[in-house]
């Protein structure tokens, strides 16, 4: 049985995944989430085609930042390469949440950035949440430089949206990354409801 050494990280990732499935922020078997393995250039990441409510030790994998399997019996998620590129670029990032939450994805369809519809979101989401066009169900490698460049130019950036796809948040811990993703979704929902309420 793998991951005994990383039991706490497995529990942390499973808790966030199941919560997001129950919130319907990630339905079906897409999305991805990962945690950096402390002291290594490795990550604990969801296996490909695994639903968020199926996340457990057996459906997770330890991979390096290029997606090569270190430990585990399942291929890492297709988004693992993007997560690896972010971990490599941003040493302070310890966890990444990617989900296809409906309001954030709907907002991205018609906007270039997330609008900070509440004081709380303006304060917590680093002041800038861009929308990227990546034209694919999984972010292709050629789009990584555009995303990493945005992080370089915006030191407080901790979230971005993918048009026609979903959202990604980064933080020190899985708990924080999940809360940021909930805030992105809440913010998009309020913006959409507010625009319907305006005359």
Smaller CB separation from Zn ion, 47 or 166: 166
d(CA 184, CA 64): 28
Cβ atoms within 10 Å, residue 38: 9
Alpha-helical segments (H) within 97-162: 102-109, 119-124, 144-153
Residues near Zn ion (CB under 5 A), total? 1
Q: Tell me how far, at minimum, the Cβ of 4 lies from Zn ion, in Å.
A: 30
Query: Which residues 131-170 are close enough to bind Zn ion by CB under 5 A?
Result: 166
Pairing of strands 95-99, 60-64: unpaired
Distance (Å) of CA 148 to CA 42, 97, 163, 184: 19, 16, 17, 20
Smaller CB separation from Zn ion, 32 or 158: 32
Q: Tell me how far, at minimum, the Cβ of 161 lies from Zn ion, in Å.
A: 11
Q: Which two tokens stand for residue 152?
A: 């370089």
Smaller CB separation from Zn ion, 67 or 166: 166
Q: Tell me how far, at minimum, the Cβ of 33 lies from Zn ion, in Å.
A: 11
d(CA 126, CA 55): 29
Distance (Å) of CA 85 to CA 18, 66, 79, 197, 199: 25, 8, 10, 40, 44
Task: Print the binding letters for residues 166-195 with Zn ion: x by CB under 5 A, - otherwise.
Answer: x-----------------------------
Smaller CB separation from Zn ion, 126 or 164: 164
Of 193, 166, 130, 160, nearest to 27 (Cα)?
Answer: 166
Q: Tell me how far, at minimum, the Cβ of 127 lies from Zn ion, in Å.
A: 25
Q: Tell me how far, at minimum, the Cβ of 26 lies from Zn ion, in Å.
A: 9
Smaller CB separation from Zn ion, 6 or 103: 103
Residues in contact with Zn ion by CB under 5 A are 166
């Amino acid at each position: 049985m793998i991951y005994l050494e990383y039991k706490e990280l497995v529990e942390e990732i499973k808790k966030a995944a199941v919560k997001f499935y129950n919130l319907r922020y990630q339905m079906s078997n897409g999305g991805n989430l990962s945690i950096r393995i402390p002291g290594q250039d490795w990550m604990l990441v969801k296996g490909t085609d695994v639903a968020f409510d199926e996340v457990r030790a057996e459906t997770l994998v330890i991979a390096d930042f290029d997606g090569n399997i270190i430990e585990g019996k399942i291929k890492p998620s297709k988004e693992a390469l993007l997560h690896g590129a972010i971990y490599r670029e941003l040493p302070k990032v310890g966890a990444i949440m990617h989900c296809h939450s409906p309001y954030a994805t709907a907002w991205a369809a018609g906007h270039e950035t997330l609008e900070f519809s509440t004081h709380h979101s303006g304060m917590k989401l680093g002041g800038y949440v861009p929308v990227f066009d990546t034209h694919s169900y999984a972010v292709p490698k050629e789009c990584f430089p555009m995303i990493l460049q945005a992080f370089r130019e915006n030191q407080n950036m901790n979230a971005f949206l993918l048009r026609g796809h979903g959202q990604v948040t980064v933080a020190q811990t899985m708990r924080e990354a999940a809360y940021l993703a909930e805030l992105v979704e809440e913010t998009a929902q309020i913006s959409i409801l507010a625009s319907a309420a305006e005359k």
